[in-house]
């Protein structure tokens, strides 16, 4: 797992270097996610976030279930992996393997599943789009997957997921006040909504299905709560 992440980062760096652009910002933010806590000492580039890295980590520990990050350090052992199914907005399903201890937000990113927003279909390429452009851009966009606006620090609701089965929902620990505060503002909130960054893989969750909420068209977050599905 770690090796694959490393190689991805490596590829990312090479790619960005070849584009002659600064890599520090993109890569550090990638590394700073909670699951990768053990990497943090090596990264001193991004001063501003240092101050609250501690907070993120504490929150992570506080809310995560019994499994800890270190459990999953040798995540290559299949026994430490569970199966999770993400159900997209158009109903398409994607089965992924998630190491115990990893959050659903990170698992989604590892597998290029976007949690935020609604997937608008890209219209068929008009004549001025060349196919090679399309391909090259797609490659670059692989590294463009968003990490949740707050990168798992419990300050936004962009990683909102819906646990599709009450049985699994009940296996999760109750959301803390801080998570509920953010869920208040989530779009398309349901009775079994959670934040992906706070749902941590553990063996009991093997087989869980998570739906990505369809974006509501109502912007009045100040008062309006969409009806539960």
**Binding interface with other proteins (CB under 8 A):** 19-22, 25-26, 29, 47-52, 55-56, 116-118, 120, 122-124, 126-130, 132-134, 136-138, 140-141, 144, 146-147, 149-151, 153-158, 177-178, 180-182, 184-185, 187, 189, 215-217, 219-223, 225
Smallest separation, CB 96 to other proteins (Å): 22
Smallest separation, CB 135 to other proteins (Å): 9
- Phi, psi of 225, rounded to the nearest 5 degrees: -120, 120
Q: Are 200 and 99 in contact (CB under 8 A)?
A: no
Smallest separation, CB 86 to other proteins (Å): 19
Smallest separation, CB 87 to other proteins (Å): 19
Handedness of CA 170, 174, 180, 183 (dihedral sign): negative
Between 42 and 47, CB nearer to other proteins? 47
Instruction: Please name the residue that has the structure tokens 């869980």.
Output: 208
Smallest separation, CB 170 to other proteins (Å): 20
Which residues, in sequence order, are bridge partners of residue 200? 103
* Residue 70: closest CA among 37, 21, 115: 37
Between 23 and 68, CB nearer to other proteins? 23
Between 38 and 221, CB nearer to other proteins? 221
- Phi, psi of 81, rounded to the nearest 5 degrees: -110, 140
Between 4 and 50, CB nearer to other proteins? 50
Q: Assign residue 194 a region (left: φ > 0; alpha: ψ between -120 and 50; beta: otherwise).
A: beta
């Amino acid at each position: 797992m770690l090796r694959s992440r490393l190689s991805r980062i490596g590829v990312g760096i090479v790619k960005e270097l070849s584009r002659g652009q600064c890599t520090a910002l993109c890569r550090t933010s990638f590394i700073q996610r909670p699951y990768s806590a053990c990497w943090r000492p090596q990264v001193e580039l991004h001063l501003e976030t240092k101050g609250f890295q501690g907070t993120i980590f504490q929150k992570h520990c506080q809310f995560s279930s019994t499994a800890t990050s270190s459990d999953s350090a040798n995540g290559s052992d299949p026994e430490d992996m569970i199966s999770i199914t993400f159900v997209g907005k158009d109903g398409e399903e994607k089965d992924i393997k998630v190491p115990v201890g990893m959050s659903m937000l990170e698992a989604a990113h590892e597998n290029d599943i976007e949690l935020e927003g609604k997937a608008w279909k890209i219209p068929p390429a008009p004549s001025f789009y060349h196919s090679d452009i399309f391909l090259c851009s797609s490659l670059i966009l692989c590294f463009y997957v968003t990490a949740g606006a707050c990168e798992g620090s419990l300050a936004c609701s962009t990683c909102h997921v819906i646990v599709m089965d009450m049985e699994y929902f009940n296996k999760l620990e109750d959301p803390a006040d801080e998570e509920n505060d953010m869920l208040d503002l989530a779009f398309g909130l349901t009775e079994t909504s959670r934040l992906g960054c706070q749902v941590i893989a553990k063996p009991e969750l093997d087989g869980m299905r998570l739906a990505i909420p369809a974006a509501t068209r109502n912007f009045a977050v100040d008062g309006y709560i969409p009806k539960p599905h």
